Structure 1
């Protein structure tokens, strides 16, 4: 077993060294993308700092009656640097005049089209909108958005590209001007804009794919070492 432990430690050290090398070789500045980010807030929360970056996509997030969701067109490399909607979280101000109804719920939807600097070349972002969606009780945040801000545009990877026709073209393109588009519904941040964004957790505060792979590899090598040690004792 001591031999097995030494093998496992050695394998772990090699993998950690490889990980450190990979981190050191990583670019200092990640590519920034221009995309629709998705935000949520507690029904009782108020104020500009009450927004939280969504941990799942708008197709799976199901706010309760009295909930507030936000969408912000932004430029960033990941969720940690994404700009929040500039409107305060205030359900009463948006939906106070909409009566509740059996089998339906009210969801305040804030849509911040971003700044002129964030907009694609030649396009002007519309003014921020606050709408009250009254939708079926089991409706998703995406369905609430569609009820008040059509037309929506998605790409083949189910990434939300445009709200109310903005922007007119393009989808999660690199802001540097290369024109490269993200093909991952969770890029550049999980739940950022994709209708299926809940499938990716890389930029939502969870472990990266590389880290998970490294941990799995260490576990496999450790198990193999234990198996070899037991085989020698037989």
Structure 2
């Protein structure tokens, strides 16, 4: 499944000025299609943001600047901004809508 937004550093961060001692990261978080959403939940809109962060920042640091990250006890990232509300690492069957 292709992302809903084609990642392009120039499009995402082109208008964000570089800052000495920091790095710019073009971040796209695509929450997927509604056919994957847990029952009773709505898929959130895709987030596209240029993040200016410390040069030693790791992925989780960058994510934390943009969304609230929910992780399981094992450290597995389970959700962003409350989506999904409870599920974590659940295996799902491929929805029929995506088999076409």
- Please indicate, yes or no, whether the TM-score normalized by the shorter chain is above 0.5: yes
TM range (shorter): 0.7 to 0.9
Alignment coverage as a number of residue pairs? 93
Tell me, yes or no, if structure 1 residue 165 matches structure 2 residue 82.
Answer: yes
Q: Which residue of 1 aligns with 2:98?
A: none
Unmatched 5+ stretches in structure 1: 1-82, 177-234
> C-alpha offsets along residues 164-194 of structure 1, whole Å, 9 cap, x if unaligned?
2111111011225xxxxxxxxxxxxxxxxxx
Moved over 4 A (4+): none
Report which of the two has the higher share of helix: 1
Larger radius of gyration: 1
Counterparts of 1:115 and 1:89 in 2: how far apart (Å)? 17
Match of 2:21 among 79, 103, 106: 103
Q: CA RMSD in A?
A: 1.3
Q: How does 1:72-87 map to 2 (within 5 A)?
A: 83-87=1-5
Unmatched 5+ stretches in structure 2: 94-100
Residue 84 of structure 1: how far off its partner (Å): 3.9
Match of 2:37 among 103, 113, 119: 119
Match of 2:71 among 129, 134, 154: 154
Task: Point out which structure has higher relative CO (alpha carbons under 8 A, 6+ apart).
Answer: 1
CA contact (8 A) 1:108 1:130 kept: yes
Q: TM-score, normalised by structure 1?
A: 0.38
Q: TM-score, normalised by structure 2?
A: 0.85
Q: Which residue of 1 aligns with 2:96?
A: none
